[in-house]
């Protein structure tokens, strides 16, 4: 029996999107995020003893550098809550669709130790890349402080208001994994908490 688990380390993410107000304090928006990184897989196997029935030998190992990649498409509705004439809080929520791929340990090679064969070593691992898609959700908030309007910019059709802000969005899904035609008991968890700060512009 082969059991594996994986932990994803730090990874690189790119995210971009936009939103607009459609009626009073309600708005809509879309965003796309792209993330990739490397995972470490922990492997545990139970192998039967060649002499003793129902006496399994357990061995563990690890495999580093398993590639992970996910692209997510987000749509959301917004509720804009003015906290003052210069401060705006935006709450958002909506569906997300994920396309993900992950390298998994699919097979192992073992070597028997010398007599009495009570121990065994994992000497090689075989990796296979699987792809999965799933619908999930996203929730977020954005807090912005806006400066005064620049009327000459407005006449030229340029951004007429500039501010600074900080925002966070949590997106999540658990697509099922099919490896070599078999659906695995565990799902592939995708998504992350994204926290960003920067300049805000408005028309």
Give, for all 203 residues of the chain, the pLDDT tens digit: 667 777 766 677 888 888 888 998 999 999 999 988 888 888 877 777 777 777 777 778 888 888 989 999 999 999 999 998 888 899 999 999 999 998 888 877 777 777 777 777 777 788 888 888 999 999 999 998 887 665 554 555 555 577 888 999 999 898 888 877 777 767 777 887 888 887 777 66
In this structure, the number of other CB atoms found within 10 A of the CB of residue 70 comes to 24
pLDDT digits (tens, 9 = 90+) for 66-82: 898 999 999 999 999 99
Q: How many domains are contained in the chain?
A: 1
Taking the C-alpha atoms of residue 57 and residue 131, their distance in angstroms, rounded to an integer, is 32
Are residues 179 and 129 in contact, defined by beta-carbon separation less than 8 angstroms? no
Taking the C-alpha atoms of residue 187 and residue 130, their distance in angstroms, rounded to an integer, is 12
C-alpha angle 35-66-1 in degrees, rounded to nearest 5: 130
Residue 159 carries which DSSP code? -
Range of the domain at 107: 2-202
What three-state secondary structure class fits 151?
helix
Quote the pTM value: 0.77
- Residue 44: both structure tokens together: 């545990």
């Amino acid at each position: 029996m082969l059991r594996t688990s994986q932990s994803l380390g730090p990874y690189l993410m790119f995210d971009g999107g936009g939103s607009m107000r459609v009626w009073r304090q309600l708005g809509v928006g879309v965003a796309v995020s792209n993330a990739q990184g490397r995972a470490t897989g922990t492997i545990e196997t139970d192998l039967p003893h060649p002499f003793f029935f129902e006496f399994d030998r357990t061995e563990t190992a690890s495999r580093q550098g398993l590639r992970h990649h996910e692209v997510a498409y987000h749509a959301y509705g917004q509720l804009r809550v003015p906290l003052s004439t210069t401060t705006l809080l935006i709450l958002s929520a909506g569906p997300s669709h994920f396309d993900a791929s992950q390298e998994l340990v699919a097979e192992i090679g073992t070597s028997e130790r010398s007599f009495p064969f009570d121990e065994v070593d994992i000497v090689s691992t075989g990796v296979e890349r699987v792809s999965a898609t799933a619908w999930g959700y996203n929730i977020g908030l954005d807090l912005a402080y806006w400066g005064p309007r620049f009327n000459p910019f407005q006449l030229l059709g340029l951004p007429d208001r500039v501010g600074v802000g900080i925002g966070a969005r949590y997106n999540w899904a658990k697509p099922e994994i099919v490896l070599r035609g078999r659906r695995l008991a565990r799902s592939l968890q995708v998504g992350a908490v994204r926290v960003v700060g920067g300049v805000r512009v408005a028309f």
